[in-house]
Each structure stands twice: as C-alpha cells, then as structure tokens.
C-alpha cells in the first residue's frame, strides 16, 4: 500500500498509525508501477465495487454516508463503469466517484503492493523524508523539532524523549507539523507526559461497537486510551498522563501548522489547542479526521477504510473537511519566523535560523486546499 495509507493507518492500522517496518526496494517499486498498469481481469472491477459497497456499509464511520457510497458503487458496477481499464486507473476512478458523493480526507482505493522483497531495509520507503527531520535547540531556551510522521518506531520515540530531555529547561518548545503526514499515539504520549502537570482529557474517539468487536480498538494496548461501550458505539478519551515533573510543564508551546498537516498531526494539534497548552501558528490544517485502516478487497486492491472519528472533548466537533483553525493565522512559509519572534528573537535572527531549517517538502499545497 502507499505511504499515505501506511502513515494514515495507525498503531495497529489506524489513522493515528504505524509505518510499515520495511519499505519497497527499487525492484518492488517497479513491480508496484507494473501492478498499476495491469489490465483488470474479467469481472474484477465489478466484483471489487460490490465488495467495497458491502465493506463500507459494514464498517464506514457514518452509516448513512456509507449507504450513499454503496448505492453509487452498485449502480455504477451494474452499468459497467468498472468493467475495463488498468488497475491503477480503476482505483483512481472509484476513489473519485466516492469523493464526488461525500468528501473524506482518508477514504481511497490503492492497487495492492507486491510482496516485500526478502532483506528489504528497515524503515520508511526509499526517498521518504526522515520521520524526524530536525530536532535541536534552535536558540538559547528554544527547542525545535520537525516531524514527517508519528510512526511509533522505538528509535523515533527514543529520539523524541532525547530531544525533550536535552531541552528540559527550555522556555519555549516549537513543534513543526507543516509536513506531518499522520501516525500514532506513542510520540504524542511521550510529549504529553512532559508538558502536562495534571491528568488531562485531550480528545474523544468513537467507532462502531461492531467494528470494535471484530477488530478491537486498532490502537493496541495504549495506557492513555481506554474504550468503553456507549450504545452501538465504543467511546474513549485520549488522556495526557504526566510523568516526572520537569520545567517543561511551564514552557510556552507553539505548533506550526499548514494545510498539509494531516490526521495524527491534527489530533496532536487539536489536543494542544483545546486544552490551551499550545498555540497554533499558520493556516487551517488538512481536514483528514476519520481514523481507520487498510482493508483488502482482493489480491490486487486495498481500500483505506475510515471507521471512527476523533473530536473535541468540549464541543463534540471534529475537523473532517474543515481542518483545525490556527490561533495565529500567518503564511505557513513564515510560521517558524513568527514563532521565533514570539520566543523573543529579533526578526533578523529569526529569518537567519529559518533559512537553516529547510522542510523536506513544501509546507503548503494549493491543490490540497482546493479539494
């Protein structure tokens, strides 16, 4: 499956999720491209559409929306819309048809990746930016860290804890989430343990009880998250659980966000904003709320299936489609400069330090905001 699926997929396959332990090597990437170019087998597209319709009704986060998706898929399948073409084109077509019915920041079809090659290297796929792009004391009293994803990998969590320890006396922490693709809870929990002085409700998460009974919470055994039945839903509140007291409990916290900040990056942003513990600087985030994970439709097609939602403890509102609004709206390309100035640096020094921190990807997308 694609990196977007994996990173949006969660610790145990969920939108606040896990990165695959092995990335495709060049031969696998070629095989992946070839798989997209393969023509459908007779009846395959129709069968995939019908299977997807059934899976949506069974598992999608909102039943009425799922019924709308399913009706469209069954109608199009019966009309022969998915009978011919290359697998990659059909995956794109079916995804576009779904999003024309209802927008969703995660739902999409993928051509299934070939089996990973024996001996594939451990870590993100070739060419993908490091999970932590930068982690340092950017100025006296100011800690700075820039993420690509919360992958939940032991070395990444250890790196987060090391950075927190090295900056334990910082007056300001800056979390750069402008390239954040998604991920899990482990890195977040390590951060929350340092910056919250008291147990604190962060966000609420809900999924259908039928999905929970079939697959569990999909987050594994997470001590900061406990689901309980509430009618036909399973509900949990993600909690900050304080660790050893450090001066970071009083540090100012700025989060740099853009319309490319997605999924678990948004989860983290809402938790910090809603509790008043952090200040968001930049623009509204991507609006990819509904969590879930990959489901196999057949040996050639996978769907990323949203099964639950995360929402504000106080208002009950989530961020699907709308994103999370910044506390301080600025051009995301200038967000680090602004945060450094708020931290007490001169404009000239903030510009100089910003020039040293070059994100691995653009920090704003016109295409994403137009979606």
Q: Enumerate domains of the chain plus CATH numbers.
A: 3-111 (no CATH), 132-289+308-370 (3.90.226.10)
125 pLDDT band, cuts 50/70/90, is: low
d(CA 345, CA 103): 42
Mean pLDDT of the chain: 88
Residue 185 near residue 238, CB atoms below 8 Å? yes
Q: What is the pLDDT of residue 216?
A: 85
CA atoms of 368 and 295, how far apart (whole Å): 25
Question: pLDDT, tens digit, for every residue of 134-183?
Answer: 999 999 999 999 999 999 999 999 999 999 999 999 999 999 999 999 99
pLDDT at 6 over 70: no
Top-confidence residue, 218 or 143: 143
| Distance, CA of 341 to CA of 346 (rounded, Å) | 6
Express as a percent the part of the chain with pLDDT over 70. 86
- pTM equals 0.86
2 pLDDT exceeds 80?
Answer: no
Q: Are 146 and 129 in contact (CB under 8 A)?
A: no
In the structure, what pLDDT confidence band is assigned to residue 31 with cuts at 50, 70 and 90?
Answer: low
What residues does 257 pair with on adjacent strands? 282
CB burial readout 61-81, b (16+ within 10 A) else e? bbeebbebbbebbbebbeeeb
What span, in angstroms and rounded, lies between the C-alpha atoms of 191 and 287? 23
Handedness of CA 153, 185, 158, 279 (dihedral sign): positive
d(CA 173, CA 359): 18
* Residues 353/134, Cβ–Cβ less than 8 Å: no
User: What is the percentage of the chain residues whose pLDDT exceeds 90?
Assistant: 78
């Amino acid at each position: 499956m694609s990196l977007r699926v994996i990173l949006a997929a969660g610790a145990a396959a969920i939108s606040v999720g896990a990165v695959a332990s092995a990335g495709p090597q060049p031969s696998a990437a070629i095989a992946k491209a070839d798989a997209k170019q393969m023509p459908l087998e007779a009846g395959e597209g129709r069968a995939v559409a019908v299977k997807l319709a059934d899976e949506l009704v069974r598992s999608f986060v909102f039943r009425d929306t799922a019924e709308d998706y399913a009706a469209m898929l069954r109608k199009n399948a019966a009309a022969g819309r998915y009978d011919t073409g290359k697998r990659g084109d059909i995956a794109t077509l079916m995804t576009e048809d779904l999003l024309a019915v209802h927008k969703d920041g995660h739902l999409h079809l993928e051509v299934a990746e070939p089996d990973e090659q024996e001996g594939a290297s451990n870590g993100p796929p070739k060419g993908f930016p490091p999970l932590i792009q930068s982690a340092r004391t950017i100025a006296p009293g100011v800690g700075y860290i820039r993420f690509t994803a919360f992958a939940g990998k032991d070395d990444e969590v250890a790196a987060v804890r090391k950075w927190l320890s090295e900056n334990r006396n910082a007056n300001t922490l800056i979390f750069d989430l402008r390239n954040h693709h998604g991920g899990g809870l482990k890195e977040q929990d390590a951060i929350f343990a340092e910056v919250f002085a008291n147990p604190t409700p962060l966000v609420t998460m809900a999924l259908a009880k039928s999905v929970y009974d079939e697959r569990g919470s999909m987050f594994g055994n997470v001590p900061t998250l406990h689901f309980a039945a509430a009618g036909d839903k399973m509900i949990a509140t993600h909690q900050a659980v304080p660790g050893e007291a450090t001066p970071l409990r009083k540090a100012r916290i700025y989060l740099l966000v853009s319309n490319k900040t997605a999924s678990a990056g948004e989860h983290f942003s809402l938790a910090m904003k809603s509790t008043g513990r952090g200040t968001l600087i930049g623009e509204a985030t991507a609006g990819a709320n509904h969590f879930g994970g990959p489901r196999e439709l057949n040996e050639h097609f996978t769907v990323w299936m949203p099964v639950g939602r995360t929402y504000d403890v106080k208002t009950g509102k989530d961020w699907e489609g709308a994103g999370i609004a910044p506390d301080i709206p600025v051009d995301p390309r200038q967000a680090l400069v602004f945060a450094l100035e708020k931290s007490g640096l001169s404009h000239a020094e903030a510009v100089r330090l910003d020039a040293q921190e070059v994100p691995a990807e653009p920090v704003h997308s016109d295409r994403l905001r137009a979606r």
